[in-house]
């Protein structure tokens, strides 16, 4: 008899997991982004559960209380991917359907590129393939949109400012379209629990020597990339370039009039997109 997975461990770190939907259903592994936890995917998971899918969503490295190393080198892409590989192997269910939003999408891209045997289908939300993102930095306005990544490289100051002055964090996220109830969840789950400094390490690891964030190989599995027209952080250019880095069946889904926070804002549409991608491959 299968049992729910509430946690898994890797290299001495303990990761919390939310496991929902029919226990015997096809498995969807869903990866959250910054600055959120698996709760940001709860509505999407419920909608997928109603369609017969089991969704397993971990609180990733830096977010789970038992998995918050302080060194930025601990947040290299190879480590982030290895965490999810360990989760998939813990499930023991063969290749999974993989969904990722924001930084979770970046991890999903790298995992599908380097471990295609573990991924049956891939849906990435907001963040394009790393190669497409890199090209969009020099062929569009993505560099301007990503200015905050440079600010996050400053040690200590960003988390102190955002923690001591909640209104600064609220204004920054509200300008990207984050709703007030979602902002409140960020304060409860990220700021109040002390996860903000280690969550910021995902950005600070970008400058760690040898961290191959923007060099993922071509992705051979079936992929749907989702981009929203109101996303202030990610440009259309990256979304348009992504198909060049996928050798499997590829679809681009554009959600009009939505912000960057699609799992919170448009879970119904995302569930349809995920279900359609899963249905595109033989059971």
DSSP sequence for 53-67: -EEEEE--TTTSTT-
pLDDT, mean of residues 97-121: 98
Q: Please, which pLDDT band fits residue 93 given cuts at 50, 70 and 90? A: confident
- Give yes or no for residue 6 having a pLDDT over 90: yes
Classify residue 204 by its DSSP letter.
H
The encoded tokens of residue 124 equal: 């990435």
Q: Judge contact between 105 and 126, C-beta under 8 A.
A: yes
- H-helix or E-strand spanning residue 10: strand 7-10
pTM of the model: 0.97
Separation of first and last alpha carbons in the chain: 22
Classify residue 188 by its DSSP letter.
I
Classify residue 12 by its DSSP letter.
T
**Residue 47, domain member (yes or no):** yes
Count other C-beta atoms under 10 Å from residue 144's C-beta. 9
Place of tokens 């899963």: 278
Average pLDDT of the residues of the chain: 96
In tens, the pLDDT along 16-65 reads 999 999 999 999 999 999 999 999 999 999 999 999 999 999 999 999 99
Q: Domain containing 31 — which CATH number?
A: 3.40.50.1820
**Alpha-carbon torsion, ordered 57, 59, 60, 64, to 10 deg:** -160
Distance in angstroms (rounded) separating the CA atoms of residues 3 and 92 = 12
Q: Catalytic one among 203, 231, 250, 264?
A: 203
**Residue 2, domain member (yes or no):** no
102 in catalytic set = yes
**Domain with 108 in it:** 7-279
260 in catalytic set = yes
In tens, the pLDDT along 184-225 reads 999 999 999 999 999 999 999 999 999 988 887 999 999 999
Q: What is the pairing mode between strands 7-10 and 54-58?
A: unpaired
Range list of H helices, the chain: 42-50, 77-91, 103-114, 130-139, 142-145, 147-151, 157-164, 166-174, 180-186, 196-204, 236-241, 262-265, 267-279
Predicted pLDDT at 212: 84
Q: Catalytic one among 75, 231, 260, 264?
A: 260
> Nearest CA to 64 among 244, 218, 198?
198
Q: Catalytic one among 19, 102, 231, 264?
A: 102
Predicted pLDDT at 67: 98
**Residue 1, domain member (yes or no):** no
Q: Which residues pair with 29 in a beta bridge?
A: 56, 98
* C-alpha dist (Å) from residue 198 to 127, 171, 193, 280: 21, 21, 11, 38
Predicted pLDDT at 193: 97
The encoded tokens of residue 33 equal: 């982004």
Predicted pLDDT at 216: 78
In tens, the pLDDT along 81-91 reads 999 999 999 99
Distance in angstroms (rounded) separating the CA atoms of residues 124 and 102 = 8
In tens, the pLDDT along 234-281 reads 999 999 999 999 999 999 999 999 999 999 999 999 999 999 999 999
The torsion region of residue 265 among left (phi > 0), alpha (psi -120 to 50) and beta comes to alpha
What domain count does the chain have? 1
Distance in angstroms (rounded) separating the CA atoms of residues 107 and 163 = 26
């Amino acid at each position: 008899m299968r049992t729910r997975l509430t946690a898994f461990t890797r290299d001495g770190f303990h990761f919390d997991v939310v496991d929902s939907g029919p226990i015997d259903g096809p498995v969807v592994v869903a990866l959250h982004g910054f600055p959120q936890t698996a709760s940001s995917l709860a509505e999407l998971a419920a909608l997928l559960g109603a369609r017969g899918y089991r969704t397993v969503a971990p609180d990733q490295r830096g977010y789970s209380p038992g998995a918050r190393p302080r060194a930025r080198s601990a947040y290299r892409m190879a480590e982030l991917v290895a965490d999810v590989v360990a989760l998939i192997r813990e499930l023991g269910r063969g290749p999974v359907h993989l969904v990722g939003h924001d930084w979770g999408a970046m991890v999903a891209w790298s995992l599908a590129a380097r471990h295609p045997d573990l991924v049956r289908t891939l849906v990435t939300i907001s963040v394009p393939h790393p190669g497409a993102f890199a090209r969009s930095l020099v062929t569009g306005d993505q560099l301007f949109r990503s200015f905050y990544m440079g600010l996050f490289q400053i040690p200590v100051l960003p988390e102190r400012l955002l923690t001591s002055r909640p209104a600064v964090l609220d204004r920054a996220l509200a300008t990207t379209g984050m709703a007030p109830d979602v902002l409140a969840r960020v304060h409860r789950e990220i700021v109040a629990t002390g996860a903000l400094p280690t969550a910021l390490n995902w950005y600070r690891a970008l400058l760690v020597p040898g961290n191959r964030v923007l060099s993922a190989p071509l992705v051979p599995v079936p992929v749907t990339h989702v981009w929203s027209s109101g996303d202030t952080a990610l440009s259309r250019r990256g979304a348009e370039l992504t198909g060049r880095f996928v050798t499997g069946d590829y679809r681009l889904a554009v959600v009009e009039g939505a912000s960057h926070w699609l799992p919170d804002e448009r879970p119904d549409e995302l569930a349809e997109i995920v279900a359609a991608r899963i249905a595109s491959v033989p059971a």
